Amino acid sequence: MIRVALVLIAASAIAAEDGTASSPARWHYVPNAGYEEEPLHVELAEARGWRVVGDDDRPIEFATGDDGSLRAVIEPRGRARVRALAADGGGLGLRLVRPGGASDLSVVDDALRLGDDTAVLILSRIDARADRRWSLLRSFSGVDHSPCALRLVGDDILGLAVAAQEFALSGQGVLVVLPSADRLIGWKHREYRQIVGWIVADACARGAAAVVLVEPCAPDAEAELIRPLVRAARDVAKAYQCQIASATALSDHRYWEVAPGVLGSVLNDPGRKRLDEIVAPWAVVEPAR
């Protein structure tokens, strides 16, 4: 099942054309991430009579369906917030969150939020063009192991983006352990790559001295599930010129077994110990929060 941001948000009731009250409008589809240079497609359900405006209150074109849905195409560049407004003044907000500007980021019901608004992570497509702003990371693309004072972990990739906001990254080496659980979520591979890229870009924007990605891992029996995510992580490391640690050694079933012949969904104790050995060259020390 493809993972999208399906957000159920209470909003002011609006009057239907026949005079009866309709169900509260809600975001039906919002991507978790997008590129600065590409339009975002969003959809609002139960939104008959609603409209969409940008930061400057100028209207954004939209289409409506017979079912009361509203579909809009948003150009991210130059926008920080978009609002869907009801005739009675109620509405829903959508935040376009750039690297370095996500201090209040959270996950609610599997969807990103910034304050009371639904959030979309926005990043520049540096993988499609030369971008010298990221040259400071180039020095970490070789074989040298830069000490990392911070090890970032999360239940899934969205949780990882949120967890990163809890720490001061300026001047720190950051080891980003990409969660293995994402193999079971059913991500669109492009969207997953965008989120990983945003996490790296956010760390850089907040002054991280170095960024090291640790590939997501899975038992060998689930190699087909993890392979696209590993490829995405490597693509991000190449685009941002940061180091990446291979987790291929963790595919051995002995690191996942919870009983003889029975695989668990997460690394067992020997597996976690082996992961620590893999990242040991970066001399990771977790600071107090």
Give the per-residue pLDDT at 283. Answer: 67
Domains and CATH numbers, the chain: 26-123 (2.60.40), 131-282 (3.40.50.1110)
Task: Name the band, by pLDDT with cuts 50, 70 and 90, for residue 60.
Answer: very high
Quote the strand ranges of 65-206, DSSP E: 70-74, 81-85, 91-97, 105-108, 111-114, 117-123, 150-152, 173-177
* pTM value surpassing 0.95: no
Q: How many CA atoms lie within 13 A of 250 on its CB side?
A: 28
Give mean pLDDT, residues 3-17: 36
Q: Please report, rounded to a whole number, the percentage of residues in the chain having pLDDT higher than 70.
A: 83
Q: What is the token pair recorded at 262? A: 């029975």
Give the per-residue pLDDT at 286. Answer: 53
Rounded Cα distance, 206 and 170, in Å: 6
Which neighbouring-strand residues pair with 274? none
Say yes or no to pLDDT of 280 above 90. yes
Rounded Cα distance, 37 and 125, in Å: 7
C-alpha pair distances (Å), 130 with each of 124, 127, 133, 240: 11, 8, 9, 10
Q: By mean pLDDT, which of 35-44, 142-151, 245-254 is the weakest?
A: 142-151
Which neighbouring-strand residues pair with 152? 176
Q: In the chain, which residue ranges form alpha helices assigned H by DSSP?
A: 157-163, 189-205, 223-240, 269-279
Q: By mean pLDDT, which of 137-141, 160-164, 190-194, 283-287 is the weakest?
A: 137-141
> Over the range 82-106, which residues count as b (16 or more CB within 10 Å of their CB) and which as e?
bbbbbeeebbbbbbbbbbebbeebe
Say yes or no to pLDDT of 160 above 70. yes
Amino acid in position 42: V
Rounded Cα distance, 145 and 147, in Å: 6
Q: By mean pLDDT, which of 60-64, 137-141, 278-282 is the weakest?
A: 137-141
C-alpha pair distances (Å), 195 with each of 33, 248, 271: 6, 22, 26
Question: Own/partner pairs for 271-275, CB < 8 Å, 24+ apart?
Answer: 274/249, 274/250, 275/177, 275/214, 275/217, 275/247, 275/250
Give the per-residue pLDDT at 89. Answer: 80
Give the per-residue pLDDT at 127. Answer: 58
The pLDDT tens digits of the residues spanning 237-254 come to: 999 999 999 999 999 999
CB-based contact 232:164 (threshold 8 Å): no
Q: Which residue has the higher pLDDT, 93 or 284?
A: 93
CB-based contact 224:150 (threshold 8 Å): no
CB-based contact 229:192 (threshold 8 Å): yes
Q: By mean pLDDT, which of 50-59, 78-87, 137-146 is the weakest?
A: 137-146
Task: Name the band, by pLDDT with cuts 50, 70 and 90, for residue 26.
Answer: confident
